[in-house]
Amino acid sequence: MSEVVTRPSVSAVPAAASRRPGFLRRHWRGDYSLARSYWLHTVLLTSLTPALAIPLLARLTNDMPARYGMGGVLFIAAFSYLAWTWGVCGCWRSASRHVARGGRRWAELAVKFLILCGVISMATSTWRAAHSLREQFEIALGKQLGPPVVYQLRVDGKSVLLQGGMNDGAADGLARILDQHPSVRTVVLYSAGGWVREGKLVGEVIRRRGLATYVEQECSSSCTLAFLAGRDRAMDPRAHIGFHTLYTVGGDDRINKSFDRKLTFDTYGKLGLPREFIERIADTPASSSWYPELGQLLQAGVLTRLAPGGETAQLATIATSRDILEAEFKKGALFDIMARYHPKEFAHTIDLAWAQVQAHASDAQILAVGREQIGILSRRLLPIASDASLAEFQQLLLDQAVALRGISAAACTELIYPRSREDAAAGREAPQAVLPPEFANREQRMTQHLLRDADPVNAGRYTLAERTRVIRQALAPLTQDQLKLLSSPLRRQADPEATCEASIAYLRAVNQLPPQERRVALRVLYSRN
């Protein structure tokens, strides 16, 4: 009788033996030893994931808009949270089975204690980072750091305004408008900043085309990266250029601090700024701004030249009607007072300025018309000014003359004996233009007082004898040579230094008269203007 040997069929093998759990599941169930679960799977793997992924992500998204990089950071953060959760849960289960495997109880307790501490630390750090995570999420959805970007081509076709944040796409928009208007030579920047990447890209557009940059109001933060790309760089004297350390949005501030400092030095160093200047930028926190003085900007090479202001046709672009121009003029305190107290003269001023607007003149040319009319009106009002305004005018004139004596004797003489229209047309610089800014502020205040309190009742009524007596008193301290010099226009023109000295001596002599006689002398002196 033969023996029949049978072999078990494949289907008879237990299913569990044919499908061994994978690595992820085995760790999750706690099948691995406690040492491997804790040190290799939990500590090492969950630490290496973000450490390796974030630098790789930075290289991949370096030339992409911020939202892509931020989306990648959030993905890595989410994956890291999941990996950490997987690691600690499996490690906890492995610790629970450690004694049954022959391990020590203290090892189980130690690991569980460390896991609990890690959970508390993770919860705390997540709570602290809630604002940062929310900001990162908003950026990943497309949020920008600054207001929307708008572009305005000035009516003269020579400049374009970029206003708003250094947002994604700002450089592309600028490139498009420059392609459409090749006559543009200057980019006017008005921005409080935005993305560092976009500031660099806007700068590249400006640099490739060899354009100038100009600031009429403010350019701060990453806007300065675009400004520094200008071939010729200038700013309105009333404008501000602000710097602070470049910074990373989101993340741990303690980790970002060293990276941000290095980024600041590398970025501004490549743009040619001195190390001492960059050091001040890096020391300024992102929550504030450092606005260097004009001299510092020139010395550091941020500006390539001084500018008087009003170089572009901003007013001519904004003022599409005479009414709009009038409203723009009234934004200045001096012209607003002129409009209220001397409406006819103000209307004439606006007529002249409107003619300049229609000719697409620059702001400087338009405002020069206004300043000229203010000057004409002021000289006409001096004879009927109040005693206080006359004394204020006299002291300002003396102080200006003394200040100009150390700068330019010709300018000092021109201040006392104003130039003619022909001289102005020849391009000679006004004396006030070379004086320190505080004199312009004093002059504006004095003119405001004059426009307000001028009244015909202030006009003095003095006999010829009274007028002659006070003038002789005022002239008494002057030498014969000084008297001859002041009475001769040809001599004044030939010797500006002596004329300046004689004029200062005369103004001081008037101020030294007794109060009542000084009041009469000022009235007589300026009633001749």
Q: Is residue 310 part of a domain?
A: no
Residues 389 and 513 in one domain: yes
> Which residues contact residue 195 at a Cβ distance below 8 angstroms, ignoring those fewer than 6 apart?
66, 144, 145, 166, 167, 168, 222
Q: Quick one: which of 22, 37, 146 has its CA closest to 94?
A: 37
State how far Cα 389 lies from the chain centre. 37
The least confident of 228-237, 252-261, 330-339 is 252-261
Q: Which of 257, 277, 300 is the last residue of a domain?
A: 300
At 431 the pLDDT is 67
For 238-272, the three-class secondary structure string (H helix, E strand, C coil) is CCEEEECCCCCCCCCHHHHHHHHHHHHHHHHHHCC
Q: Which long-range contacts (CB under 8 A, 24 or more apart) does 477-483 make?
A: 477/505, 477/508, 477/509, 477/512, 478/502, 478/505, 478/506, 478/509, 482/506
Q: Which of 300, 328, 356 is the last residue of a domain?
A: 300
Indicate the pLDDT class of residue 10, thresholds 50, 70 and 90: very low
The least confident of 57-61, 245-249, 503-507 is 57-61
The least confident of 76-80, 91-95, 352-356, 389-393 is 76-80
159-173 per-position pLDDT tens digit: 999 999 999 899 999
Place of tokens 């109060």: 515
290-322 per-position pLDDT tens digit: 999 999 999 999 999 988 888 999 999 999 999
121-148 per-position pLDDT tens digit: 888 877 877 777 777 777 767 777 778 9
> Which residues contact residue 362 at a Cβ distance below 8 angstroms, ignoring those fewer than 6 apart?
156, 310, 311, 312, 313, 316
Indicate the pLDDT class of residue 528, thresholds 50, 70 and 90: low
At 423 the pLDDT is 44
Residue 99's φ and ψ, nearest 5 degrees, are -65, -40
Q: Is the pLDDT of residue 391 over 50?
A: yes
CATH value at residue 173: 3.90.226.10
Residues 179 and 272 in one domain: yes
Indicate the pLDDT class of residue 287, thresholds 50, 70 and 90: confident
Amino acid present at 247: Y
Question: Average pLDDT in the 248-259 region?
Answer: 63
Q: Is residue 306 part of a domain?
A: no
Give the mean pLDDT of the chain: 85
State how far Cα 131 lies from the chain centre. 27
pTM of the shown model: 0.70
Take residue 263 and report the two structure tokens written for it: 């980024």
Residues 134 and 156 in one domain: no
Residues 352 and 481 in one domain: yes
Element (H, E) at 220: strand 218-220
Q: Is residue 109 part of a domain?
A: yes
Q: Is residue 396 part of a domain?
A: yes
Q: Which long-range contacts (CB under 8 A, 24 or more apart) does 406-412 make?
A: 407/434, 407/435, 408/434, 409/496, 409/497, 409/499, 409/500, 410/496, 412/496, 412/499, 412/500, 412/503, 412/504
Total count of residues recorded for the chain: 529
Decide: helix, strand or coil at residue 490. helix
DSSP 8-state assignment for residue 513: S
How many other CB atoms are found less than 10 A from the CB of residue 416?
21
172-210 per-position pLDDT tens digit: 999 999 999 999 999 999 999 989 989 999 999 999 999
61-108 per-position pLDDT tens digit: 556 677 777 777 777 778 888 888 888 898 898 888 888 888 888 988
Element (H, E) at 500: helix 496-511
Q: Quick one: which of 523, 527, 528 has its CA closest to 387?
A: 523
Q: Is the pLDDT of residue 326 over 80?
A: yes
Contact 142, 67 (CB under 8 A): yes
Residues 167 and 251 in one domain: yes
At 7 the pLDDT is 47
Residues 103 and 175 in one domain: no
At 422 the pLDDT is 42
Contact 196, 267 (CB under 8 A): yes
Angstrom CA distances, 95 to 23, 112, 490, stand at 17, 7, 106
Rounded-to-integer distance, Cα 381 and Cα 364, Å? 25
Between 182 and 435, the more confident residue is 182
Q: Which of 300, 334, 366 is the last residue of a domain?
A: 300
Q: Quick one: which of 335, 60, 318 has its CA closest to 188?
A: 318
Indicate the pLDDT class of residue 8, thresholds 50, 70 and 90: very low
Q: Is the pLDDT of residue 424 over 60?
A: no
At 57 the pLDDT is 58
Residues 225 and 268 in one domain: yes
Q: Is residue 4 part of a domain?
A: no
Question: Average pLDDT in the 380-395 region?
Answer: 92
DSSP 8-state assignment for residue 418: P
Contact 244, 286 (CB under 8 A): yes
How many other CB atoms are found less than 10 A from the CB of residue 381?
22
DSSP 8-state assignment for residue 13: S
Between 434 and 125, the more confident residue is 125
Residues 202 and 296 in one domain: yes
Residues 181 and 289 in one domain: yes
Residues 458 and 481 in one domain: yes
Total number of domains constituting the chain: 3
> Which residues contact residue 156 at a Cβ distance below 8 angstroms, ignoring those fewer than 6 apart?
312, 313, 316, 360, 362
Q: Is residue 440 part of a domain?
A: yes
Q: Which domain holds residue 490?
A: 315-526
Residue 153's φ and ψ, nearest 5 degrees, are -80, 125
Indicate the pLDDT class of residue 248, thresholds 50, 70 and 90: confident
Take residue 32 and report the two structure tokens written for it: 């691995």
Residues 360 and 432 in one domain: yes
Indicate the pLDDT class of residue 51, thresholds 50, 70 and 90: low
The least confident of 32-46, 262-276, 395-409, 487-501 is 32-46
* DSSP code string of 154-196: -TTSSEEEEES-B-TTHHHHHHHHHHH-TT--EEEEEB--B-H
High-pLDDT (> 70) share of the chain, %: 88
Q: Is residue 14 part of a domain?
A: no
Q: Is residue 370 part of a domain?
A: yes
Rounded-to-integer distance, Cα 402 and Cα 377, Å? 25
Residues 326 and 468 in one domain: yes
* DSSP code string of 288-343: S-B---HHHHHHHTS-SS---S--S-HHHHH-SSHHHHHHHHHTSHHHHHHHHH-H
At 268 the pLDDT is 95
